[in-house]
Amino acid sequence: MWIERVIARAFGPLRDETLHLGAGMNVIGGPNEAGKTSWHAATRLALTGVRRGPGRTKEVTSVIDRHRPWDSPDRWEVEARLHLHDGRTVDISQDLAGKVACRARDVILGDDLSNEIINDGTPDATRWLGLDRDSYSAVAAVSQAQIMAVAESATGLQDEMQRAAATRGTDATAARRSSSAAAPRATSAARSRSFASCALPRSRVASDSHSLTARA
């Protein structure tokens, strides 16, 4: 799936503005307060929408509080045009304030596709990716604050990686030692079984073999 465009009907400071995107990777640049963070959030919520009722995470609540239009909070709308892997082109509309006029529509056939991706009462286009709005937020939508948190804790992250590498080396050494110790025991056990088989009477061996075959 790729996103052709995002339309911010009313989203944060954006009013009836369109962001056009190309297939593949897109880099959005600009000075501070140019709207980069707003477009990032608009793109995300155009795909996922917001669930109806309780159950929102603190992070989603923070996005809502930050990007709901300041001058007209009752109108909060965003749209996107998507190209799916199966060849369909879809327009998805999210009424984030009322959460009622939300739908996904096939551009060519005009069919309503909302039921394919309905999630907690609203369309969630990440379902077409095998995700949902929560997993998408966790793995695909990285906020500026999250990036800054990684940068600020770079030393701690390096320490954790070094500790993990050291632990892995210790575990590998222990595994090799365990494997080496197990080899003589396995050889000894095999010899014991061989000796026991030879010592058993023929009738007992045949009876045991039949019993094992039946259980298998």
CA distance 52 to 118: 11
Q: How far is CA 158 from CA 12, 139, 172, 202, in A?
A: 37, 21, 21, 65
CA distances in angstroms from 165 to 150, 152, 158, listed in the order given: 19, 22, 11
pLDDT in tens, 105-160: 999 999 999 999 999 889 999 999 999 988 888 887 777 677 777 777 767 767 77
Nearest to 131 by CA among 25, 43, 48: 48
Torsion of CA 14, 19, 25, 28, to 10 degrees: -50
Tell me the β-bridge partners of 6.
19, 80
Q: What angle do CA 85, 87, 93 make, to 5 degrees?
A: 85
CB-based contact 7:79 (threshold 8 Å)? yes
| Angle, vertex CA 204, rays to CA 201 and CA 206, nearest 5 | 110
Q: Report pTM.
A: 0.66
What pLDDT sits at residue 207?
39
- Cα 132 to Cα 118: distance, rounded to the nearest angstrom: 10
Count CB-CB contacts under 10 A for residue 168.
10
Can you read off the two tokens belonging to residue 32?
Answer: 């501070």
How sure is the predictor about 161, in pLDDT bands with cuts at 50, 70 and 90? Answer: confident
- The predicted-structure confidence for 188-215, as pLDDT tens digits, reads as follows 444 444 444 444 444 443 434 333 333 3
Q: What is the dihedral of CA 67, 68, 72, 77, to 10 degrees?
A: 100
Interval 71-104: pLDDT, tens: 887 889 999 999 999 999 999 999 998 867 899 9
User: Using an 8 Å Cβ cutoff, are 158 and 127 in contact?
Assistant: no
Could you count the other beta carbons within 10 Å of the beta carbon of residue 174? 10
Strands in 48-194 per DSSP E: 77-83, 89-95, 103-106, 118-119, 122-123
